[in-house]
Structure 1
Amino acid sequence: MKFSVLVANYNNGKFFRTCYDSIIAQTYTNWEVIILDDRSTDNSLEIIKNIIGEDSRFKIFENIENSGVGITKSKLIELADGDICGFVDPDDAITSNALSSSIKVFEKNKDVVLTYTKFVKCDENLQPLQVPKIAQQVINNSPYFFNCPVNIVHFVCFRKEVYNQTEKINTVMKIAEDQDLYLKMYEKGKVKFINETNYLYRLHSGGISQNDNKPKSREYFAKVIFNTMKRRNLASINNKPVPKEYTNSNEIYSLLEYQNSIAFKIKKKLIIFAQQIFS
């Protein structure tokens, strides 16, 4: 299996060296890297090209105009030649076993369409700070799964062939395009949690979903969930009607509040345990 590492860059060339070093250190060797620059306004492209040099495993492309993350990530998948794809932001990094751990799951489990791991939050110098406990195996094959609260996190990898069977990434999205991708892939097969910390997530002021962007991220995620409800033809959630039109994020999140109850969490764990035993 060939693995395509997808890198969407916008003004993050200054961080790319550690991303590059982590990719070329992979124990799995059948990979390519597709980089698409979204019309950076700094010298990112020059920095990235100098780091890559003549390495033919890296392919660099540029958007004609600044297009946003939805369009850029959609194009990246189209440009990929690999069987398996995974996004790595240019300001982040992955562990040396990240690709091999994912590939092993896909080779062993033909019905798995997406894998994910734990991640570690790092400071601006990519020094580890904390491993959030949110990543865990989720229920498979449930029309009421929306990854809210979030359990599917970095490092996410997926089968390109299956992705092409979906409606694909919503190119209008400027934030939460990853959640849109996860939920569409979820509808096509099983997702598998790999209990390893394989992604290094850098915290810095320019992060697209960090700091001042958090309220926007919450709003976009609500729209993703609403679109998912409509795509799955759900008329109600826990006996509450799904609105016919999107009006605000609170209306959507209120439909999912029951998932925070102790009774639901116990039931969820039992279902996940049964699915792991009998799958």
Structure 2
Amino acid sequence: MTVYNREKYIAKAIESVLASTYRNWELIIVDDQSNDNSCSIAMSYAQKDTRIKVYINNENLGDYPNRNQAASYAKGKYLKYVDSDDLIYPFGLEQLVFYMEQFPMAGYGLCSLDQDDKRIFPFQLSPLETYRRHYIHKISVFHKAPLSSIIVRDVFLQEGGFSSVRHYGDSELWHRLSKKYKVVLMPGGLVWSRVTDGQEAAIRSNNPANALKTFQSAKRHIKSENCPLLGKEKEVVLKLYNQRIASVVLSAFKRHGWKKGMEMQGMSDMNLVEVIRNRFF
């Protein structure tokens, strides 16, 4: 549980873990230099339950680096993130572990996904199946937040955890893990996400550069040699992402003016002619 200024919500988040029907857990809380009462609230729970450990960073690390910091203290087989303004249902942890144990070759799992009309959750996908599901069949896999994940700790550490990027570190990690490991897809109703002011998601939506960086990250993974998609499949997906990037750039010109538009074009690795071609032709 990573924490930064969540005094209004952290108690409920901790209590949701305490209410878990699965009892063999440790709750690692890492405060990222909060300037409210978040840390003292967390400490009060740690004094009552030895399974709760509270750590305070020497400096503010930011979202994904702090998630890596929290994982570095873990000792268990699996990592499960419950953000300090979210909740996990009482049976959530038990079911997540149960599903993962059915697929011992998987590297990670994701829950709260769109229902599959052909298969009942849980089921396991190979790297090729995962990439095809997301990019060819257009059934979202990689757009899940850390709250929806459960990760084999050894796999997380071996792959270096989250990249030190802001706003899309989760999607980037799912892309990276899914090139090498199988993923277990699980039903919803296991975790509960709260929408609050100051969340990274709210900040992300206010700047077109964030969408552009996310699209470019996906494009890099598609172009990489170890992407499991086949040649023709890659071509189709890359064309789609060039169109999306071009759309973001032209939207920046329209909504934010020439200066912002040129900034987005500079970030896009396309010149203006290529932007227009990819958007309209």
TM-score exceeds 0.5:
yes
Q: 1:219 to 1:146 in 2, by over 3 A?
A: farther
Q: 1:20 to 1:108 in 2, by over 3 A?
A: same
| Alignment partners' CA distance in 1, 2:133 and 2:169 | 14
Give the corresponding residue for 1:84. 78
Give the corresponding residue for 1:103. 97
Q: CA deviation at 1:146?
A: 9.0
Partners of 1:112 and 1:191 within 8 A in 2: yes
Partners of 1:146 and 1:225 within 8 A in 2: no
Match of 1:189 among 159, 181, 195: 181
Partners of 1:12 and 1:91 within 8 A in 2: yes
| Alignment partners' CA distance in 1, 2:183 and 2:37 | 38
SS of alignment partner, residue 202 of structure 1: coil
Does residue 1:203 correspond to 2:195, yes or no? yes
Greater C-alpha radius of gyration: 2
Q: Which amino acid aligns with 1:11?
A: N
Match of 2:141 among 146, 151, 156: 151
Q: CA deviation at 1:203?
A: 1.0
Cα deviation, 1:180-202, whole Å, max 9, x if unaligned, reads 22222222321112123111111
Q: Which amino acid aligns with 2:37?
A: N
Cα deviation, 1:187-244, whole Å, max 9, x if unaligned, reads 232111212311111111122112x42154423422431342354456853285799x
Partners of 2:100 and 2:184 within 8 A in 1: no
Cα deviation, 1:18-65, whole Å, max 9, x if unaligned, reads 111110111111100111111112221112212332311111111111
Partners of 1:39 and 1:65 within 8 A in 2: yes
Q: How big is the alpha-carbon RMSD for the aligned residues of Structure 1 and Structure 2?
A: 3.2
Does residue 1:37 correspond to 2:28, yes or no? no
Structure whose residues are more often helix by fraction: 2
Partners of 2:133 and 2:141 within 8 A in 1: no
Q: 1:33 to 1:238 in 2, by over 3 A?
A: same
Q: 1:65 to 1:134 in 2, by over 3 A?
A: same
Give the corresponding residue for 1:180. 172
Q: Percent of pairs identical after alignment? A: 21
Q: Which amino acid aligns with 2:4?
A: Y
TM-score, length of structure 2 as denominator length: 0.70
Structure whose residues are more often strand by fraction: 1
Q: Which runs of 5+ in 1 are unaligned?
A: 1-6, 119-132, 256-279
Match of 1:169 among 125, 137, 162: 162
Q: CA deviation at 1:151?
A: 3.1
How many residues matched?
230
Give the corresponding residue for 2:235. 237
| Alignment partners' CA distance in 2, 1:37 and 1:231 | 36
| Alignment partners' CA distance in 2, 1:66 and 1:232 | 35
SS of alignment partner, residue 65 of structure 2: helix
| Alignment partners' CA distance in 2, 1:167 and 1:230 | 21
Give the corresponding residue for 1:248. 268
| Alignment partners' CA distance in 2, 1:72 and 1:206 | 17
Q: CA deviation at 1:107?
A: 1.8
| Alignment partners' CA distance in 2, 1:156 and 1:249 | 32
Q: Which amino acid aligns with 2:59?
A: E
Give the corresponding residue for 1:228. 221
Partners of 1:222 and 1:249 within 8 A in 2: no
TM-score, length of structure 1 as denominator length: 0.71
Give the corresponding residue for 2:250. none
Match of 1:54 among 44, 48, 52: 48
SS of alignment partner, residue 23 of structure 1: helix
